[in-house]
Structure 1
């Protein structure tokens, strides 16, 4: 049987041939690619020549490219276009990949060659990028068990296999729970307060499911409008409790035991490798360096945000009391926040949405990228897609040179997980005269067009699109030699800088004028609305900051201490949230059981990164504000020192090269309105 995954892609720009790939192709392709990669490792190990940077370190970084391409296709589909069969394959494939990874890391002959090169590093006259690659390779082997005994290596293999399966199962359970709940309304009076677009979308969904009335789900484009605008407090409560109870219902999709197993196995693994905790292991390779530094960082921000958050909560509670609400609950927060925002700033999301037609926002993002980084985007129709909603773009620079392929996937559907993310189908690298360009994808869940309206974004969705596009820029503009140092392959508390920085343009008049046009009249967003966006940008910032900090604190609580005595997920979580809690607890709800960032994704001991990177992005954008938000010189400096460099140099050195100094949190506190005024 011919297998398109194993053949050299004879496609435009060597893109993945999605239309030819069937589920049956994946398992045989993985098996074959793993064997090919093992053979490549054997060649390195058995090379009779003395180990050198070129024949060992460099060769190792380029090995297994076919396996990497197959993995990127498969696991991206498992996130954006999955089904029962793909999930079953994932459960079978993940242990194989975990075993293969350990075969490499725990290979004595291979490590001996790496160590021989590392020991003479100072004599090799390496470039900064080569030095970083060698250091990272060596440390990766040492940190992941190269020095362990045979018995310890065997134990590590067992732990890693279990972890790979548990992470997958966690994600599958969250997805199943998200799709399991549907709020079916047949009484029109219960729709009171909802925007026309939300009602129409719910009606369309009901028709698709052959039901009368309206259906609301836990997908963000359905959930957020309902929880924000529905006048029925009882129905808001029903939806909010369902959202908060995902994988916490003692059913087949329950994640409580999986959470406990994950944190205990991670701790056991860290101990086996000589680390005090999982956080100590992870943070050794982060800008923050240690759990102590992370906790100090979080607690410092907490001390500044909590008084503001408490004051905001009290004001919101007083406002809701006018409506007869004696105790503000979680399902009241968005509803009364939107009403208070309207009262204070004379602005509401529905007022803004007509100016944010999805197609216009995309054009705006492209125009801003052109003004800053000389990029052009042309939609092309010759590249295969994995779903009809996906669009593909050829990215070039102003000289017409090919830079990247960009995939965009913007609408929710069955088989696609909630949230938004950037990923890649192919990394950038250089070999000889070839600069092999990347294939980047951004995936979001925005409101679809209805029968009467195009896809209109909330302002929050606009910032989400800008955020993911910032990540995409990091991937698309990558210009490094080695694939493992390319693009977003940087420390996780640095990776959010390009994404969070790019969000800042959403708030600037000069940028908004490029794309914020009314979908009917094509009139540019009025200046008074822009002023209101700016003035309301800090609205409830204390509460939002406290919420983000609470997630970071929960993450560190799970991973920086010995978890062996924990037997109750909810009880442990409640203690972790103690200093950040504003709303009464909901006993049927649990954050941890659907906290995919830390239990399925790569953010364990890293959720603090969002706030850490905010310090960097606020400091960086203050330079754009000073020199001009489209200042080409500053943009080029950011491109050359940050976006192109990937992980070739230590992040703080990259930042200082761009900014001329280390960042302080002053700009962040000023922007958030949390800086005490003298």
Structure 2
């Protein structure tokens, strides 16, 4: 154990994990030691005979478990972004252990009695607003974990928690296993009909990674979506789309239907034990929405105009296909293909024209430059900072006066060892309690890796993803609170997407584009005419985009608030919702239930997939503040944005934070206008 890196002081720059020294064999023993040490700290807090104070109870609790936090953050980040058989086996083994340990803390009677004693005298303690918020959230967390339950109910809540942890791990690993089976393996050049050279090169690189000849279309969005757009082979589009949408429901060991059904059943049982009508009522209690009715109203208000627009667009796409001699009923694997043709026709835009101006390196610089102009941050690439994979880039983040603010890791290319999607996470969070600790933040994406020596070319959607996740990263890096439990992105689920979605707006600011969007071969600045066409097309196909997203959010809500019963037949419940809302026949959910990792690979977005839309209501209104000030980089608005949104963490109620920034809460009107749905209503 003395040679275990987790049990040593890290002498790396900024104490970044020494990834080259860490093996899966180190993680289990370190966590065993961490569990033991953390419980000893909890016992010490609970057994303290001194009068209860905020310092000897909440402060002590916030600082406890440092080894656990340190080890678990490394483990779970690696398990998601660079996994292997050993890490996956460890993940399965640790899931119930981690849940059991969490329950040993949250259901510790002695600890909870001190929290209750502190709660009873809170009005006499002269707490700061942040301390009052932390105390409130801490007590709620214990109660919602079952601290007030007794007897059989208390034991059952423990069993449910441990079982849900196991199911979440199985669900996630099953999706990854299905994603490692390529959508298509192409061996004949005729199968490449319609594909751009950049996509052909990326598919060849994917084949090389798998030791195969020819070309491989993987299930990463950065490969399969361009294929569905470009391929003129309808049979291959259908085959690829079938692979993409059937993840988690192919039968055999990786089938997730029974796992999801059991998960739904256990969630509802837990909610009932805790006194809630449904799991959705339990989950939404601490969110801005507060209850399912508010979520349903938002989704319904947006669904009606989005569906109307999508149906009108579907008719136009079928007419376009017919004009080319394809007298077809438009299917889901056709939409992107014909929609791109329509977009090119109406706005004279094609990915072939756009992508050369959006190289990965330049867009990273664009995201950094935006943060510099808004918040005074600068980014210095450091080769001496350890990384967990050769493709990862490391940066020191400096503040306006050159002070160290954070470490930022960028992991941009897809690979077989990485789960799909894009996300932000932290290897270390920010806090001031005890000492000033600065964060280590990572962005993970799945862009197609280009052949060696060539630039990675991104679609406009890819660049939006990069800016989106960097917005999350800024939320973590600019965090300026005292208590770790409310630092960075530790906010209400339907508030957490505001900083990320808001940041996307700066991508299309002309100054940013003219400075950073330069042609990969010629270095020419993106033409004003192309910027104008991209801006004009920004609301194009929003009926489709909104329908596929809202359909997923509706299915999520229906399954968790009892509108449908997914506990006995997951796909029947999904179909029931889609039939009720009348989803257009040529559009599917953005995430089918058997691979809906947002809601089944853990519970963070369960009943909460709507939160992207809830946050979009705010982000559309928030960017308008800059427009009203006359500049997307207005210094006064940016300062308020930093103070009340990006730096504030969860130390204040999110509605109060937004109101402090904007002076009021927004309405859905700004969102409808942003998506162009106001004209469809």
TM range (shorter): over 0.9
What's the counterpart of residue 665 of structure 2? 662
What's the counterpart of residue 330 of structure 2? 328
Write out per-residue CA displacement over residues 431-452 of structure 1, whole angstroms, 9 at most, x where no aligned residue.
35x3210000000011212257
What's the counterpart of residue 647 of structure 2? 644
Write out per-residue CA displacement over residues 7-64 of structure 1, whole angstroms, 9 at most, x where no aligned residue.
2222211111111101101110010001110111011011110111111012111211
Relative distance call for 1:590 and 1:71 in structure 2 (3 A) is closer
Residues 307 and 584 in structure 2, CA contact (< 8 A), matched pair in contact too? no
What's the counterpart of residue 419 of structure 1? 421
What's the counterpart of residue 527 of structure 1? 528
Deviates most, 668-677 or 377-386 = 668-677
**Alignment partner of 2:378: what SS?**
strand
**Alignment partner of 1:431: what SS?**
coil
Alignment partners' CA distance in 1, 2:211 and 2:98: 42
Alignment partners' CA distance in 2, 1:580 and 1:453: 45
Residues 221 and 447 in structure 1, CA contact (< 8 A), matched pair in contact too? yes
Relative distance call for 1:151 and 1:411 in structure 2 (3 A) is same
What's the counterpart of residue 351 of structure 2? 349
**Alignment partner of 1:653: what SS?**
helix
Relative distance call for 1:107 and 1:403 in structure 2 (3 A) is same
Alignment partners' CA distance in 1, 2:56 and 2:353: 61
Query: 1:439-518 counterparts in 2 under 5 A?
Result: 439-451=440-452, 453-518=454-519
**Alignment partner of 1:180: what SS?**
coil
Q: 389, 394, 412: which one pairs with 2:396?
A: 394
Write out per-residue CA displacement over residues 405-428 of structure 1, whole angstroms, 9 at most, x where no aligned residue.
000000011110111000000010
Question: Do structure 1's residue 230 and structure 2's residue 260 form an aligned pair?
Answer: no
**Alignment partner of 1:443: what SS?**
strand
What's the counterpart of residue 273 of structure 1? 274
Relative distance call for 1:250 and 1:590 in structure 2 (3 A) is farther
Write out per-residue CA displacement over residues 344-386 of structure 1, whole angstroms, 9 at most, x where no aligned residue.
0000122111001111111111111000000010000111111
Deviates most, 322-331 or 233-242 = 322-331
Write out per-residue CA displacement over residues 110-155 of structure 1, whole angstroms, 9 at most, x where no aligned residue.
1110000001111111111000000011111111111101221111
**Alignment partner of 2:432: what SS?**
strand
Residues 42 and 61 in structure 2, CA contact (< 8 A), matched pair in contact too? yes
**Alignment partner of 2:622: what SS?**
helix
Alignment partners' CA distance in 1, 2:137 and 2:58: 10
Residues 82 and 415 in structure 1, CA contact (< 8 A), matched pair in contact too? yes
Question: Do structure 1's residue 604 and structure 2's residue 636 form an aligned pair?
Answer: no
Shift of residue 577 of structure 1? 1.3
What's the counterpart of residue 627 of structure 2? 625
Write out per-residue CA displacement over residues 506-544 of structure 1, whole angstroms, 9 at most, x where no aligned residue.
122122112111112211100000001100000011221
Alignment partners' CA distance in 2, 1:364 and 1:586: 33
**Alignment partner of 1:252: what SS?**
helix
Residues 303 and 550 in structure 2, CA contact (< 8 A), matched pair in contact too? yes
What's the counterpart of residue 595 of structure 1? 596
Shift of residue 221 of structure 1? 2.3
Query: 1:248-259 counterparts in 2 under 5 A?
Result: 248-259=249-260
Alignment partners' CA distance in 1, 2:422 and 2:367: 16
Which stretches in structure 2 are left out of the alignment for 5+ residues?
none
Residues 183 and 216 in structure 1, CA contact (< 8 A), matched pair in contact too? yes
Question: Do structure 1's residue 569 and structure 2's residue 570 form an aligned pair?
Answer: yes
Shift of residue 611 of structure 1? 0.4
Alignment partners' CA distance in 2, 1:451 and 1:59: 51
Residues 267 and 562 in structure 1, CA contact (< 8 A), matched pair in contact too? no
Question: Do structure 1's residue 3 and structure 2's residue 4 form an aligned pair?
Answer: yes
Residues 564 and 577 in structure 2, CA contact (< 8 A), matched pair in contact too? no
Residues 564 and 573 in structure 2, CA contact (< 8 A), matched pair in contact too? no
Measured on the aligned residues, the alpha-carbon RMSD in Å equals 1.7
Residues 314 and 586 in structure 2, CA contact (< 8 A), matched pair in contact too? no
Relative distance call for 1:451 and 1:9 in structure 2 (3 A) is closer
Shift of residue 546 of structure 1? 1.5
How many aligned positions are there? 676
Deviates most, 609-618 or 206-215 = 206-215
Shift of residue 618 of structure 1? 0.2
Which stretches in structure 1 are left out of the alignment for 5+ residues?
none
TM-score (structure 2 length as normaliser)? 0.97
Relative distance call for 1:210 and 1:654 in structure 2 (3 A) is closer
What's the counterpart of residue 284 of structure 2? 283
**Alignment partner of 1:435: what SS?**
coil
Alignment partners' CA distance in 2, 1:293 and 1:204: 47
Relative distance call for 1:389 and 1:123 in structure 2 (3 A) is same
What's the counterpart of residue 130 of structure 1? 131
What's the counterpart of residue 212 of structure 2? 211
Relative distance call for 1:267 and 1:364 in structure 2 (3 A) is same
Write out per-residue CA displacement over residues 276-325 of structure 1, whole angstroms, 9 at most, x where no aligned residue.
11111110000000011111111111123222222122222222222314
Residues 247 and 254 in structure 1, CA contact (< 8 A), matched pair in contact too? yes
Alignment partners' CA distance in 1, 2:518 and 2:636: 29
Residues 277 and 562 in structure 1, CA contact (< 8 A), matched pair in contact too? no
Write out per-residue CA displacement over residues 78-119 of structure 1, whole angstroms, 9 at most, x where no aligned residue.
100111111110111111111111111111111110000001
Deviates most, 148-157 or 25-34 = 148-157
What's the counterpart of residue 547 of structure 2? 546
Shift of residue 272 of structure 1? 0.9
What's the counterpart of residue 582 of structure 1? 584
Alignment partners' CA distance in 2, 1:238 and 1:27: 41
What's the counterpart of residue 175 of structure 2? 174
Alignment partners' CA distance in 1, 2:504 and 2:153: 46
Alignment partners' CA distance in 2, 1:209 and 1:437: 39
Alignment partners' CA distance in 2, 1:499 and 1:491: 14
Alignment partners' CA distance in 2, 1:245 and 1:338: 24
Deviates most, 493-502 or 270-279 = 270-279
What's the counterpart of residue 370 of structure 2? 368
Write out per-residue CA displacement over residues 576-601 of structure 1, whole angstroms, 9 at most, x where no aligned residue.
112141125899x9810000111114
Residues 393 and 405 in structure 1, CA contact (< 8 A), matched pair in contact too? yes
Shift of residue 228 of structure 1? 0.9
Residues 41 and 64 in structure 2, CA contact (< 8 A), matched pair in contact too? yes
Deviates most, 661-670 or 643-652 = 661-670
Shift of residue 569 of structure 1? 1.7
Query: 1:138-153 counterparts in 2 under 5 A?
Result: 138-153=139-154
What's the counterpart of residue 557 of structure 1? 558
